[in-house]
């Protein structure tokens, strides 16, 4: 028998392997299917012919295949399965006492269990990598280093997740609880961030979109590693996607792997200390180590009460509008009550009894709830400057405003103007954050300011606003909001950002206008759209170009694409009287200049369209009776014959017996097209 002070016990190692080898075998089969089998199938037969025709080399095919192989999503499951089976005896009283009665020290039990878990988890990776290398070389890949970099990622993440699994196992005396703790520990930072973001989205001014823009960092390796530690492969083809023209590949995140390896070793040593000091009688306890008990109670009471308090206030506000102060009062009161309930519930779980109601524990419960209340007070008074945060101009890649239409500004001067408008808007929040209470009968909407920072982060603020032209609103409110409308309603910006960057260089390749001609039965309309099929392409473009020039005159005159804070371009009454029911759209095209989409960039799809640019865009326009130049040009071009064929929403509804049906607010532009 080996010494009780030894790090390794051969008999125990064999016993552990005999209980976990089936998990390793299943893991090996899965890896075989994902790597060599899938690779051979994808590069054989008709697939091989297609690759050869495109100009792919063996190295390109291999790198493309390995860049798509999963990493953390395999190891996170395998690690807890193997570790839980290996240390299963810690969750059964008879096995627990029996194992620790043997002449084998806890050092041997722990490190032998660790070694057997790593052996079962890593052997399939190494064997699969060898087989994959042989297959790749047989297929003419030449360079198989990407296979072994993938194997390195898998090995480091395996050690990391096994260390977290061991920590979870040592902190609990129940297998189910240990598995739950393992899941929580892997996403703990993310859960904490989500809790704060959710609370902010429900309570703080302008923060309703706070749940957007989450970026995973190193504290959440499950999601961070696949994005930042990987095999990068980029294959570019020609415009017809018929031939490879370039191939780039890199190994990303080696530094992160080194950091995670060190962290894994530290967690393994901490877990060993916990195991060494773990009392045998804690088996089947909800929490098996003393220091975790207050941490668990505090964490549950603090985070759940904070979020739940905000959620209660949010539910009430969904039923009836609440002022800013009343909303926070409800959230704070709810957090106190819920915090006390959660604290005693966790104590019942930990102590396995219902007899936890003592004066001392009540004091502790109040202390923990006060922490959540303190955070809510800090949010209320914006102690850390979240509501008022406007990023520095040097940190901003672009700034965007979304109301009825979307505008994205990349010019430094315009970005600075957006910042100044935003700061002016926030200068007096008291009236702005309670507009739904102060002006309940005034029509309103929401608008969004979005900043994309140079580091990739996104800052989003969403605000409720009401019609600046309403007689009820104060001069202070107009002073805070009207400058934003004046900025986005500038004719030059309308043309640049609603029509697009090619507004003055492109040509109109297509145009459509629906004439509403009442049929002979006078029961319904015939929707007539003249396509001018008898004309040549050149003649069409000339005709369309004349109408487009007239539209630009109406834009300069402030008659189209004008935005407001009333919930649409026009109030209900104005839409009935002025907005045309006739559909009008055109397609603008510039074969030399890629179209910059403000809409897609604002919602963070811009990178895709930079990689795959397009050179045209269709714009839908809501014309009004005031668009005299455009209507005359359409009539002169032959899109309609009689003024009776141009009708407003109100006229259409009256004829059709739908006088109470409101204008739906869709008024063209890129937003409606998409």
Dihedral angle at the C-alpha atoms of 407, 413, 418, 423, nearest 10 degrees? 180
Domain that holds residue 304: 292-380
Please count the structural domains in the chain.
4
Please tell me whether residues 563 and 614 are part of one structural domain.
yes
Q: Where are the beta strands (DSSP E) in 77-220?
A: none
Q: Output the pTM of the full model.
A: 0.80
Strand pairing class (406-409; 444-453): unpaired
Strand pairing class (406-409; 584-589): unpaired
Residue 666 is predicted with a pLDDT of 44
Dihedral angle at the C-alpha atoms of 346, 352, 353, 356, nearest 10 degrees? -40
Does residue 644 belong to any structural domain of this protein? yes
Please tell me whether residues 22 and 105 are part of one structural domain.
yes
Does residue 283 belong to any structural domain of this protein? no
Please tell me whether residues 552 and 412 are part of one structural domain.
no
Helices of type H across 385-495: 412-426, 429-432, 435-438, 475-488, 491-494
What does R_g of the chain's alpha carbons equal in angstroms?
33
Does residue 271 belong to any structural domain of this protein? yes
Does residue 97 belong to any structural domain of this protein? yes
Residue 240 is predicted with a pLDDT of 64
DSSP state at residue 243: S
- Please identify, among 350, 380, 410, the residue that sits at the C-terminal boundary of a domain: 380
Tens digit of each residue's pLDDT (9 = 90 or more) over 518-531: 765 545 666 778 88
Regions of the chain short of the pLDDT cut 50: 1-2, 522, 569-572, 662-674
- Please identify, among 488, 518, 550, the residue that sits at the C-terminal boundary of a domain: 488
Please tell me whether residues 403 and 499 are part of one structural domain.
no
Please tell me whether residues 340 and 404 are part of one structural domain.
no
Please tell me whether residues 156 and 124 are part of one structural domain.
yes
Please tell me whether residues 320 and 245 are part of one structural domain.
no
Please tell me whether residues 519 and 594 are part of one structural domain.
yes
- Please identify, among 245, 277, 309, the residue that sits at the C-terminal boundary of a domain: 277
Residue 93 is predicted with a pLDDT of 84
Does residue 27 belong to any structural domain of this protein? yes
Please tell me whether residues 229 and 297 are part of one structural domain.
no
Tens digit of each residue's pLDDT (9 = 90 or more) over 415-474: 999 999 999 999 878 889 898 889 988 888 999 999 999 988 899 999 999 999 888 999
Please tell me whether residues 586 and 508 are part of one structural domain.
yes
Answer yes or no: are the C-beta atoms of 509 and 588 closer than 8 Å.
Answer: yes
Give the 3-state secondary structure of residue 42. Answer: helix
Does residue 2 belong to any structural domain of this protein? no
Please tell me whether residues 365 and 322 are part of one structural domain.
yes
Does residue 578 belong to any structural domain of this protein? yes
Please tell me whether residues 302 and 328 are part of one structural domain.
yes
Does residue 335 belong to any structural domain of this protein? yes
């Amino acid at each position: 028998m080996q010494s009780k002070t030894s790090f390794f016990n051969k008999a125990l190692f064999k016993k552990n392997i005999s209980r976990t080898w089936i998990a390793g075998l299943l893991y090996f089969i899965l890896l075989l299917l994902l790597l060599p089998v899938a690779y051979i199938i994808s590069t054989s037969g008709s697939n091989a012919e297609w690759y050869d025709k495109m100009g792919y080399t063996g190295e390109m095919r291999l790198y493309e295949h390995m860049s798509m192989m999963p990493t953390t999503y395999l190891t996170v499951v395998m690690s807890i399965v193997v570790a839980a089976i290996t240390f299963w005896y810690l969750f059964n009283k008879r096995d627990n006492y029996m194992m620790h009665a043997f002449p084998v020290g806890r050092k041997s039990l722990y490190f032998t269990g660790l070694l057997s878990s790593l052996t079962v988890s890593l052997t399939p990776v190494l064997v699969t990598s060898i087989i994959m290398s042989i297959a790749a070389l047989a297929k003419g890949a030449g360079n198989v280093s990407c296979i072994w970099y993938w194997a390195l990622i898998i090995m480091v993440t395996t050690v990391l997740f096994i260390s977290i699994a061991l920590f979870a196992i040592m902190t609990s005396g129940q297998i189910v609880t240990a598995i739950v703790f393992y899941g929580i520990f892997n996403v703990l930072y993310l859960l904490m961030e989500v809790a704060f973001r959710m609370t902010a989205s429900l309570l703080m001014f302008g923060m309703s979109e706070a749940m957007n823009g989450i970026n995973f960092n190193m504290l959440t390796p499950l999601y961070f590693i696949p994005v930042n530690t990987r095999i990068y492969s980029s294959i570019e083809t020609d415009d017809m996607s018929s031939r490879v023209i370039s191939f780039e590949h890199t190994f990303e995140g080696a530094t992160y792997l080194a950091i995670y390896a060190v962290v894994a070793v530290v967690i393994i040593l901490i877990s060993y200390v916990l195991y060494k000091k773990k009392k045998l009688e804690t088996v089947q306890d909800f929490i098996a180590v003393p220091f975790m008990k207050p941490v668990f109670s505090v964490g549950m009471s603090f985070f759940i009460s904070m979020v739940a308090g905000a959620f209660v206030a949010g539910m009430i506000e969904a039923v009836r509008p609440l002022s800013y102060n009343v909303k926070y009062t409800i959230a704070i009161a709810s957090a106190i009550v819920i915090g006390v309930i959660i604290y005693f519930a966790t104590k019942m779980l930990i102590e396995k009894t219902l007899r936890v109601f003592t004066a001392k524990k009540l004091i502790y419960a109040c202390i923990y709830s006060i922490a959540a209340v303190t955070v809510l007070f800090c949010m209320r008074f914006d102690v850390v400057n979240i509501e008022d945060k406007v990023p520095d101009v040097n940190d901003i890649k672009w700034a965007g405003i979304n109301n009825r239409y979307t505008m994205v500004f990349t010019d430094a001067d315009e970005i600075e103007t957006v910042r100044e408008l935003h700061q002016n808007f926030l200068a007096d929040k008291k009236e702005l954050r309670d507009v739904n209470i102060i002006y309940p009968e005034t029509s309103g909407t929401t608008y969004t300011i979005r900043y994309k920072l140079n580091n990739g982060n996104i800052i989003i603020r969403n605000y409720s606003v009401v019609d600046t032209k309403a007689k009820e609103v104060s001069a202070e409110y107009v002073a805070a909001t009207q400058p934003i409308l004046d900025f986005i309603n500038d004719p030059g910006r309308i043309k640049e950002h609603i029509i697009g960057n090619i507004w003055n260089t492109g040509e109109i390749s297509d145009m459509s206008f629906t004439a509403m001609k009442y049929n002979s039965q006078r029961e319904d309309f015939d929707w007539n759209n003249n396509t001018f099929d008898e004309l040549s392409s050149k003649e069409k473009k000339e005709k369309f170009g004349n109408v487009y020039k007239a539209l630009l005159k109406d834009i300069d005159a402030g008659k189209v694409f004008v935005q407001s804070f009333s919930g649409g371009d026009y109030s209900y009454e104005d839409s009935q009287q002025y907005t045309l029911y006739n559909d009008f759209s055109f397609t603008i095209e510039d074969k030399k200049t890629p179209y910059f989409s403000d809409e897609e960039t604002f919602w963070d799809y811009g990178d895709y369209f930079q990689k795959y640019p397009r050179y045209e865009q269709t714009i839908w326009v809501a014309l009004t009776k005031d668009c005299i130049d455009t209507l005359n040009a359409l009539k002169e071009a032959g899109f309609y014959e009689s003024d009776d064929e141009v009708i407003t929403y109100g006229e259409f509804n009256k004829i059709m017996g739908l006088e109470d049906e409101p204008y739906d607010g869709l008024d063209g532009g890129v937003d409606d097209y998409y």
